[in-house]
Structure 1
Amino acid sequence: MPSAGNSRLLDEARRRDDLAPLTEYVRAFATDGVIHLNGNSLGPPRSGLAAELDRVVTGQWAPRQVQAWFKDGWLDLPRTVGDKLGTLLGAGPGQVVVAGETTSTTLFNALTAACRLRPDRPVLLIEAESFPTDLYIADSVAKLLDRELVVESRDGFDTYLRDNGSRVAAALAAPVDFRTGERREIRPTTALCHAVGAISVWDLSHATGVLPVDLDANAVDLAVGCGYKYLGGGPGAPAFTYVPIRLQPTVDFPLSGWHGHAKPFAMVQTFIPADDIDQARTGTPPLLSLVALNHALAPLVEVGIHELHRRSSELGEFFLECLADRSPELLGRLASPLDADRRGGHLALRVPQADKVEEALADSGVLVDARPPDLIRFAFAPLYVTHEQVANAVDALCRAVEGVQ
């Protein structure tokens, strides 16, 4: 376990932790003494997860087997979990579903549906800085539907919408840049899409559980996001889809699995989509993964998205405070906005040999993630990261950078 080189900052970290009510949640996570600042895909599970999975396996699956789908609410779990997620997303009931698909599959489904809502428009627009999967899926959808994929820079994205919006069927963006953490405000971009008649599609993977996105209030058209990262749903946790009630009568998803049918157990040959959010469902959901995600959501929902965001921002600011004290030169390598209001839940530094620094930090008990060519990301999950851990992580970072130079 690393120790902070600056006792004043370490004392201040402990003082802040003593005063912070959310510090109590840290003990509920199985961190095994490791500092988790990795924003890639997976944080620690809650300590009670094994017992919850055992409760479902031994208390429901074993005694009731196939009947548990009906007697224990398994069939409803995609919507049950979806509504819980809705409280973090600013979405009313019946507009979010966790169908059990991967983020890639869910994005393909939503992006194709968005283009189908504007069949007479030739362009699918996406930011060049998007997560690679988003670029890959957008390219595939464009080829499949014979649309033109336009890839624009962050600034060029809005300019293209203003100048060529009448040609755009759908515009895909993310509220948080996966590399730097820089925010894109949802409301103005969505309003710009609506002004030109385009469908707005948002990838919320790096925002969900740490940043208010207010989907209903911002009149978002379609959105997807993963169940891991800040939600902590576990390895390969299923993704979610948001479809507002106003679009549910007209949206047309390409993946027409039987669980999305209006009468799934009628077993008819013709697909008739459900008239609600269930139409975004496909095949039989991965029950145990949904149970794990449901378990992970409990404390997040209890705390609420605004307090989660406040706590994460506070930890990020303390990281920068410690870095300024310990190594002003490293602070000068900040690739993220200095203003906390312009960042999501993580920040990034440009460090030579970032992959080796990541390895050195892991050896010190600090988990971060490097991104080519020279970025190291530090994610501040609000329920299992403390100020003391942040102070120790900064000290370990400075020693790791010095060690690989």
Structure 2
Amino acid sequence: MNSPRMKGALTNKLYEINWLLPTLVGLVGLVGVAMIYAATEGVWRYGAFQHIVRIGVGGIAMLAIAMIDIRFWYRLAYPIYAAALVLLIGVEFFGVIVNGSQRWLDLGFMRLQPSEVMKPAIVLAMARYYHDLPDWRVSHISGLAGALILLTLPMALILKQPDLGTTLLLGATGVTMIFLAGISWRVIGLASVFAAVAIPVFFKFGLKPYQQERILTFLDPSRDPAGASYHITQSKIALGSGGVNGKGFMQGTQRQGEYVPENRTDFIFTVIGEEFGLVGGLFTMGLYMAVIAVCIWLSLQCKALFSKLLVLGLTTTFTLYIFINLGMVMGLAPVVGVPLPLISYGGTVILAVMGGFGLVLSAHLHRNVELPRSES
């Protein structure tokens, strides 16, 4: 008896989804398919086929997550965070080592990277935390301590893998959410002074030698052109060789000569730059900026603080992915191993990013839902 009513409610929800966001996300994903196809010499089974399947599965998951009431995600925020934390701990004991890094869990049918799962999980947890936190405690030491505990636990586990890029991305997302929650400028000033003192100490004692070398190479690319500077040097050559209009699809000589390592993953933007030039690079960045702008616009329509912080936090994570990767490829940031979202080859990151967009759509679809807040 309830079946027709349920189908009607489902149809109404699908109609109310902001379809501009899934359309833009799908377009970015298709750019990824084309670039992976080019990077692998036109062999579908070397990545392009897997990528388009993951985009399709991720799209279905995105819409399924969007249909679920935001109150469900509010209740599950801490359990999802706890599950992601357990997965990170599991990496310490059962993780698979690839290229000297222990970041993956082998599930048999796929390799799961828990650090990617933690990116939307930390946003969920911190959005829930600040929604429940009374306003007077946002800038109080007790309120700040709770947020820092939520943030530093996964950061410490990810840094140990080691994965400096994801650690920095997670930290930047968390700090942005603390700022968006309304922390006072006095606390921001004190934190800035602490950071100015802590960063050199962290560089000296918290980073491994090869991580220090990457940062020193970024500051002086000429110090080791055949070693630590090789990625950045070859990346710049590939981007510059594309000129304004590029050499044409599948015509990139730097790509064909395999001068740029990891050109289907972290350095895939070099393929775009070489084969489609400045025009292709700006088009790709334009698609990304459109996605970010739509997400910010959707956040402004949400009533509940949890929903606003959730959308803005996930948008921050997505934006940092882009800026860190492009900065790395252009020599404007150290090489830290952050993929270009929806374009770089990789399984867990695509599902995590598209799951995040599902949460954004859920927050907007249920934007008029009000969640109770504590005033004491």
| TM-score, length of structure 2 as denominator length | 0.30
Report the structure, 1 or 2, having the larger helix content.
2
Higher relative CO (CA 8 A, sep ≥ 6), structure 1 or 2? 2
Report the structure, 1 or 2, having the larger strand content.
1
